[in-house]
Amino acid sequence: MTPERAAAENAKSVSLEELLKTSKIVTMHLVAGPGTKELISAYAT
């Protein structure tokens, strides 16, 4: 999401790391591929 679209939707754009640290539930809807493989595992601790 671009900063302009976030502002238009009254939303705040944050990094993936901040999103995962501050959210109770996150759903991700992505096409499986090399760019999305293990996207979350890097942040799992």
CA angle 7, 5, 38 (to 5 degrees): 110
pTM, entire model:
0.52
The contacts of residue 1 (CB under 8 Å, 6+ apart) are 9, 11, 13
Range of the domain at 6: 1-45
Q: pLDDT value at position 42?
A: 65
Q: How far apart are CA 45 and CA 42, in angstroms?
A: 8
The Cα 25–Cα 19 span in angstroms is 10
Q: What CA–CA distance (Å, rounded) separates 8 from 20?
A: 23
pLDDT digits (tens, 9 = 90+) for 1-45: 788 888 899 998 888 889 889 999 988 888 888 888 887 776 665
- The pLDDT, as a whole number, for residue 14 is 86
Instruction: Please give the tally of structural domains in the chain.
Output: 1
Q: What is the pLDDT of residue 10?
A: 94
